[in-house]
Structure 1
Amino acid sequence: MDHWLLYFCMFVAALGVIMSFLLLLRYKPMRGRHKVSLRHFAMLVNVYVTVMLAFALMYMVLELLGIPVLAEANRNVGGELTHLVLDVVYFSAITLLSVGYGDIVPMGVGRILAIIQALFGYLLPAAFVVTTVIRLENKVE
């Protein structure tokens, strides 16, 4: 696979994370109790899935470039492409949701990326609640 394509994938992944946060910050809840809660849930799931897949893509691109970022049972994650995709998506979900089982661990640059992703996992719900409360307070006034 050409390196320019991998770099393009990294760019798209980073752009997806940024766009998800902008979407979350510009989100305007609808009137009505049930519409707000269902729409809120759909928006939050959309942002979480986008961020999870974007970070998974970053991990995968780095692995395909030959930069080891994840290790499983004292060996680098890899092998078949299908196995790599499953491992990076799994690790991304576990890191973003702050579960952290420890069966796959970051190494090298992957540690920095995992820290950033964990920070996103903590900030997403807070940003979501803050923007929702601010928008609802503005509607009341």
Structure 2
Amino acid sequence: MDTLSWIAIIVICLIVIASLVGFIRGGRFHFQVEMRESRFSAEIFYTLLVIYSIVIIGFGLIYFILSLHHITLVENGELKEVSIFGTFVHSFYFSGVTLLTIGYGDITPIGIGRLIALVEALIGYVLPTAFVLKLVQNSQEGRKD
């Protein structure tokens, strides 16, 4: 990559980081533009991160255990023999991708793994909704006080 591309990447990263830090801190001014007050709750944000991490680890362990018996995951349409560490990495990768994006299709569940992946994907859709509802509830309680 040329120098201009690296500069653009660095500038974009700095803007994203500054925006995230400002959002998390609840600041009112971002890049000289006044924005409405943030309703960000650090407690809810960290709780969401911990719950997502627990779900990814839990389902990753389920996929790993089932993959040891060649029951769960197929890579690129065929069952490949990989090391224990490779199986571990594939299981946690698949768990994270399934929870956060509903998958890329490079690793596919088979058998009971399809049902497990379906449940994990459903959890991935429901969790953000629950936290948004909690933020709305907190906001409404704040207005009553």
TM-score w.r.t. structure 1 length?
Answer: 0.68
Residue equivalent to 1:85? 88
- Structure 2 CA distance for aligned equivalents of residues 67 and 134 of structure 1: 45
Deviations 1:91-129 (A, max 9, x none): 111111125211100111000001000001100100110
Q: Secondary structure at the match of 2:74?
A: strand
Structure with more of its chain in helix, by fraction: 1
Q: CA RMSD in A?
A: 2.2
Which 4+ residue blocks in structure 1 deviate beyond 4 angstroms? 32-36
Deviations 1:23-71 (A, max 9, x none): xxxxxxxxx957943333222211111111111011111222x251110
Residue equivalent to 1:44? 48
Structure 2: gaps (5+ residues): 1-24, 28-38
Q: How many positions carry a matched residue from both structures?
A: 109
The answer to whether the 8 A contact 2:72-2:112 is kept is yes
Identical residues among aligned pairs (%): 35
Structure 1: gaps (5+ residues): 1-31
Structure number with the bigger relative contact order (C-alpha 8 A, sep ≥ 6) is 1
Residue equivalent to 2:139? 136
